[in-house]
Amino acid sequence: MNTLSNQVNVPVAAPESEEVSVETIRARRRRRIVVNSLRVLILVVIIGGWQLLTSVGKPPLIDPFFWGQPSGIWQQIVTWVTQGTAQGPLWQQIAVTLEEAILGFVIGVVLGVIFGVVLGRNRFLADVLSPYIKAANSIPRVTLAPLFVIGLGLGFQSKVALAVVLVFFVVFFNAFQGVREVDRNLLANAQILGASQRRLSTEVIIPSALTWILASLHTSFSFALVGAVVGEFLGATQGIGLMIQNAGANFNANGVFAAMVILAAVALITEVLITALENRLVRWRPNTVSEVTI
Amino acid sequence: MNNSLPMKDVSTGTQNAPDQGTYAIELRDVTKRFLTPAGKAYTAIRDINMAVAPGEFVAVVGPTGCGKSTTLGLISGLERPSAGEVEVMGEPVQGIDPRIGYVFQADAVFPWKNVLNNVATGPLFRGQPKAQALERAHDWIARVGLTGFEDRYPHQLSGGMRKRVALAQTFINEPQILLMDEPFSALDVQTRTLMEDELLNLWSSLKASVVFVTHDLEEAISLADHVCVLTAGPATVKGIYTIDLPRPRKVGEIRFEPRFVQLYQQIWEDLRDEVVISYERAKQRGDQ
């Protein structure tokens, strides 16, 4: 048995590989600087060009009244931050929309995972229900928004409901597929090792499908935001969607863009949080994937 | 295919068994048919008769895709026979028997569990207290030479190390019957020889009955007490050979012994015909 333990190689960094790695690190750093500079350059060209084309010339090449202007958008944001919006302070609008989106997101994810795992494990039920699920999925679900307003009123419930419906299908299909893709060898192995049906679900199927489920969370949170905002378009007393709606009705192009910028910032922050959650939950995965993400 | 088994060397497990009916594993006229996706019946194995005495190491060889793995599936209880009887420890197989261990061809360790938790999986599934399960897992990790790697995840290990995890994961349950489905076929030749020696070591301390499926005749002869040759699919037993090489064996050296070469030639005569048939069929399927 001793001979066997000797055969296991403890990884030791080879000394000659260090020089190479210094080279590689330097090259990588140089590349990163170039990439970041180019990114900034693109931003400057787009915003600067936009500003230039909407301000130089008489009349300017692009009419800022219809297409907005970066400086105007910035001013609008500053006004909202310092003086609040027509419906109240800015943070309150963000909080309302975020609350609707998060609530819809959580409910949609939980329902999606439950249905996905149950149908993924039960072939019979999946066969029976599949035409209805496909039909429901093919409906553009934003069109349900007026129904929710009729049924649930102008309060936050109708927005949450729309977010739930949008999130549910994304998560459901991924969870379902994830369960279907569970390695048959892993299942057989767990059964041989003595797993009960319940432990098969909790210790093999769900961890295995987790990669799929987590991948769906990225898209599905933006769907939740869409649900909340579209719900607010149709009638609300507060929220970013209402701000966009008001700005549009008042021909305030800068206002529409400013609200979009705020929404984008919110979406980016949540995206970072979801990625952090993902990295925590699937630590066991080889981290080659993270290098692909932009 | 004739059913009177042409046994070349008739000392099967049957004669080694202490008494009639006390085989660790017994297959009687077992047939397994599958339904293909096209709706046709496909016979994987037909009228297989085989017996393994307690503590005996039997290797099953046959051409690729002839139904070797199906045999293991039937013994483990993961699959049910279409006809015939499969008995383990004198009782018909009904569901998965806790006395059985199974090492799979592909990686079947859980990628989201580290080495320690992977090895402890069996005892935990079987309801042992966590502290005790982890203690035993540490012990088995040491026995397969992976001390210091407890908190690594499978993707951080080499193929050989992952196999060691799989062996520890199986052996920790102290199976009385060990089923192995080409467990080392994905490893390079050197690692493979090491793992084969390791397996013999572990087996000699456990004294389990082993059914070891492989397409590699050399591996079969090096490890087993009996080599069972299957025909090209649908598989049935073509012949069973007794390997009278002395134990303990060193897998890396035994293949140079004259008796080994003799046995190899003798069994290969039998196996070659089946391999040719299987190859011709595969070629025909490819031509169509």
- Picking from A125, A121, A284, the residue whose alpha carbon sits closest to that of residue A198 is A121
Percent of chain A with pLDDT over 90: 53
What pLDDT band is residue A8 in, cutting at 50, 70 and 90?
very low
Q: What's residue B69's pLDDT?
A: 86
Lowest mean pLDDT segment, chosen from A15-24, B140-149, B235-244 = A15-24
CB pair distance less than 8 Å for B125 and A194: yes
Q: What's residue A56's pLDDT?
A: 85
Closest Cβ opposite residue A193 in set B112, B125, B142 = B125
- The DSSP output letter for A181 is T
Question: Distance (Å, rounded) from C-alpha A176 to C-alpha A167?
Answer: 14
Q: Nearest C-alpha of chain A: how many angstroms from B273?
A: 31
B26, pLDDT greater than 50: yes
Q: What is the mean pLDDT of residues B224-239?
A: 88
Q: Nearest C-alpha of chain B: how many angstroms from A213?
A: 15
B44, pLDDT greater than 90: no
Question: Distance (Å, rounded) from C-alpha A125 to C-alpha A136?
Answer: 16
Output helix, strand, coil percentages for chain A, rounded to the nearest 5: 80, 0, 20
CB pair distance less than 8 Å for B173 and A4: no
The string of pLDDT tens digits covering residues A122-170 is 889 999 998 998 888 888 888 888 899 889 988 889 999 999 999 999 9
Give the residue, A54 or A14, on which the prediction is more confident.
Answer: A54
> According to the CATH classification, is domain B13-99+175-278 in 3.40.640.10?
no
Q: Nearest C-alpha of chain B: how many angstroms from A289?
A: 13
A11, pLDDT greater than 60: no
Q: What's residue B86's pLDDT?
A: 92
Contact B177, B25 (CB under 8 A): yes
Q: What's residue B148's pLDDT?
A: 93
Is B96 at the interface with chain A, CB within 8 A? yes
Closest Cβ opposite residue A284 in set B112, B142, B173 = B112
Question: Distance (Å, rounded) from C-alpha B261 to C-alpha B148?
Answer: 40
Q: What's residue A263's pLDDT?
A: 92
Structural domain boundaries of chain B? Answer: 13-99+175-278, 111-170
Q: What is the mean pLDDT of residues A70-74?
A: 93
A3, pLDDT greater than 70: no
The string of pLDDT tens digits covering residues B170-226 is 999 999 999 999 999 888 888 889 889 989 988 988 889 999 999 899 999 999 999
B3, pLDDT greater than 80: no
What pLDDT band is residue A218 in, cutting at 50, 70 and 90?
confident
- Chain mean pLDDT for chain A: 86
Is B10 at the interface with chain A, CB within 8 A? no
CB pair distance less than 8 Å for A207 and B110: yes
Query: Cα separations (Å) of B68 from A151, B5, B231, B272?
Result: 61, 17, 10, 16
Q: What's residue B191's pLDDT?
A: 87
A185 CB neighbours in chain B (<8 A) are 104, 106-108
A290, pLDDT greater than 60: no
- Chain mean pLDDT for chain B: 86
Is B204 at the interface with chain A, CB within 8 A? no
Nearest CA in chain A to B106: A185
This prediction has a pTM of 0.76
Q: What's residue B11's pLDDT?
A: 42
Q: What's residue A92's pLDDT?
A: 92
Q: Please, is A292 exposed, middle or buried when counting C-beta atoms within 10 Å of its C-beta (0-12, 13-18, 19+)? A: exposed
- The DSSP output letter for A10 is P
Q: What's residue A19's pLDDT?
A: 61
ipTM of the complex: 0.85
Question: Distance (Å, rounded) from C-alpha B72 to C-alpha B75?
Answer: 5
Query: Which tokens in the block code for residue B273?
Result: 């015909």
Question: Distance (Å, rounded) from C-alpha B110 to C-alpha A195?
Answer: 13
A292, pLDDT greater than 80: no
Q: What's residue B75's pLDDT?
A: 93
